[in-house]
A and B are shown apart, each in its own frame.
Chain A
Amino acid sequence: MSKDVIRIDSVDKVFTTNGSKKKRSSLQVLADFSISVKEGELFCLLGPSGCGKSTILRIIAGLESPTTGDVWVYGRSVSDVHDMLGMVFQEPTLLPWRTIEGNVYFGLEERRVPKAERKEKVSEYLELVGLEGFEHHYPQQLSGGMRQRAALAATLANKPKVLLLDEPFGALDALTRLVMQQELLRILERAQLTVVLVTHSIDEAVFLADRIAIVSPRPGKVESTIVVDIPRPRDRTDPRFAKLSQEIFELVVGEAGPNGNGVGRKDPASEKAMAGGLALK
């Protein structure tokens, strides 16, 4: 449990807009960004939008390369997209000309999973994310949340060892969001995975994470890492839950400064009350 699966060592990322030489401008998105994620851990990156959370996930996935610094996954320096990694984008993405079933098939085809196994796997993973009965629908026929689950099924079917989730519930309403958080924990229980999850919700981070890294805005940098040692299944009415949320809120407000945009967009008190009222299990 103590082996580092992901190590990010003082990564800087500077985006340079292309254009004529004079008009060219650069934006530093990440500065001296370092984290390490242990095997089997659910690690949350918490920060306001625009602080570079998606960028760091894309760097881990090998879709983007750091300007300086190093990224290792299972001890290997990341230089390109890697088979052990799966990622679900912030914006639900699927192949629009394939059905939901066809989208899950895609990765299996490409990985040359024997034909006989494919059908079985497709229904297994669609059932896992609760999309049975929608096999023959096209992505356009589903809601954003359903598409997100389909993308998760397609990703999980490839049996990655590391799963990167970029605000997977960002597009959902507050109620569905609570249900999906429970669902995610249930799904993860069955798949042995190391997870990095990006969110801007304190409540979500405290409910899901083993550890939380608080990312400060512009340029993104890990300000502090918090261990969440509330036993599972977690209960939002637990006093420890409220206490930790409050502590993180204060940390974040401290980070953002008087004119910064804090992480906790919603009033944390009201969100807590709501969760308490629902008290899932």
Chain B
Amino acid sequence: MSSEDLRPKVYSVFGAVNQRVPIGTLIILLLLFAIWNGLSRFGIVPDYVLASPASFMESLSEAIRSGELFGHMIASLQRVFVGFTIAMFVAVPTGVLMGWSPSVGRTLNPIVEALRPVSSFAYVPIGMMIFGLGFTLNAFVVYIASFFPILINTIQGVRGTEKRILEFAKLQGARPKSMLFKVALPSALPSILTGLRVGMGIAWMSIIATEMIGAKSGLGFLIYNSAWQLEMGLILVGVMAIAVIGLALNRLFLLIERKALSWRDHLVAG
């Protein structure tokens, strides 16, 4: 493509997506592994506090073979998916409305500001009364946790639409509906997507905590239950699975941002 050739050298706004792991990070990871190995090999930390690499590997292969790990992963992911999706479909339109209409914003803002600092776990007792233990309770807590980051970022994105761009659109003859859907929304999209990514991060953190009290499955339940069973290797397996999935989810959202906002990627060098 000739238009490709004309493009100046570009720097990605989302460098994090395609960056390789720096060599220093790998060295630190190896070092940590060596310390972990040393601690258990020389009996400095007993096996019932921190599993040795060997017993970790044993638990890992057992958890994979039995399908136990996979089952818990799916359970957690399903709850997060449902809670997060509902939060997205409620918070984005609400945020757009609050950001676009000053009167709606003024009316709802005090309520949002009052509820926002309340930890989503504060809703667990109420949720338990309403939904009982299980899927709905967990999805409900995820919903609460991811709702506010999505809402706040959407409001800010819509409100932050440059005056200059709104005036340009108006002079081009934009109809009122288009001012919102063709100007303010695309302009707010970067902020909305950031809100979704942050919301997903918080959703993933909260599901683990909720499952410790409010579920009989899921990765949160797995690590909590393993502690009671003194299965130290399995705790580490759970923690590792939580980290890997958290990382993957974050990458997935960064990738979506990069695809959706490719126009921002064409920053001229220098």
Show the binding face of A for B, using Cβ within 8 Å: 61, 63, 81, 83, 85-87, 89, 91, 93-98, 106-107, 109-111, 136-138, 140-141, 151, 154-155, 158
Question: Which residue from B3, B168, B267 sits with its C-beta under 8 Å from A95?
Answer: B168
> B164 near A89 (CB under 8 angstroms)?
yes
The answer, yes or no, to whether B182 is at the interface (CB within 8 Å) is: yes
- CA–CA, A91 and B167, complex, Å: 12
The answer, yes or no, to whether B7 is at the interface (CB within 8 Å) is: yes
Which residues between 170 and 191 of chain B lie within 8 Å of chain A, taking CB atoms? 170-175, 178, 182-183, 186-187, 189
- CA–CA, A241 and B37, complex, Å: 87
Distance to closest chain A CB from B27 (angstroms): 38
> B167 near A63 (CB under 8 angstroms)?
yes
> B171 near A86 (CB under 8 angstroms)?
yes
- CA–CA, A55 and B171, complex, Å: 16
The answer, yes or no, to whether B268 is at the interface (CB within 8 Å) is: yes
The answer, yes or no, to whether B227 is at the interface (CB within 8 Å) is: no
Interface of B is mostly: helix
> A136 near B182 (CB under 8 angstroms)?
no
Interface residues on B, range: 20 to 34
- CA–CA, A98 and B167, complex, Å: 16
Please name 19 further chain A to chain B contacts, defined as beta carbons within 8 Å, in addition to the given A95-B183, A97-B187, A98-B263, sorted by A numbering: A61-B171, A83-B173, A85-B171, A91-B164, A93-B165, A93-B168, A95-B186, A97-B189, A97-B261, A97-B263, A106-B172, A106-B174, A106-B182, A110-B175, A137-B266, A138-B263, A140-B264, A141-B266, A154-B172
Query: Which B residues lie within 8 Å of A63 (CB)?
Result: 167, 170-171
> B186 near A155 (CB under 8 angstroms)?
no
Given contacts A95-B165, A95-B186, A106-B182, contact A140 B172 (CB under 8 A): no
- CA–CA, A91 and B162, complex, Å: 13
Query: Which B residues lie within 8 Å of A96 (CB)?
Result: 165, 263-264
Show the binding face of B for A, using Cβ within 8 Å: 3, 6-8, 164-165, 167-175, 178, 182-183, 186-187, 189, 261, 263-264, 266-268
Q: Closest B residue to A111 by CB, please name it.
A: B173
Interface of A is mostly: loop
- CA–CA, A230 and B268, complex, Å: 43
Question: Which residue from B6, B165, B171, B266 sits with its C-beta under 8 Å from A140?
Answer: B266
Most buried by B among A85, A86, A109: A109
- CA–CA, A61 and B164, complex, Å: 14
Distance to closest chain B CB from A190 (angstroms): 21
Distance to closest chain A CB from B184 (angstroms): 11
- Of the A-B pairs whose beta carbons lie under 8 Å apart in the complex, a sample of 16, sorted by A's number, is A61-B171, A63-B167, A81-B170, A85-B171, A89-B164, A97-B189, A98-B263, A107-B172, A107-B173, A110-B174, A110-B175, A137-B266, A138-B263, A140-B264, A155-B172, A158-B173
- CA–CA, A127 and B259, complex, Å: 30
> B186 near A81 (CB under 8 angstroms)?
no
> B168 near A94 (CB under 8 angstroms)?
yes
Q: Closest A residue to B178 by CB, please name it.
A: A110
Query: Which A residues lie within 8 Å of B175 (CB)?
Result: 110
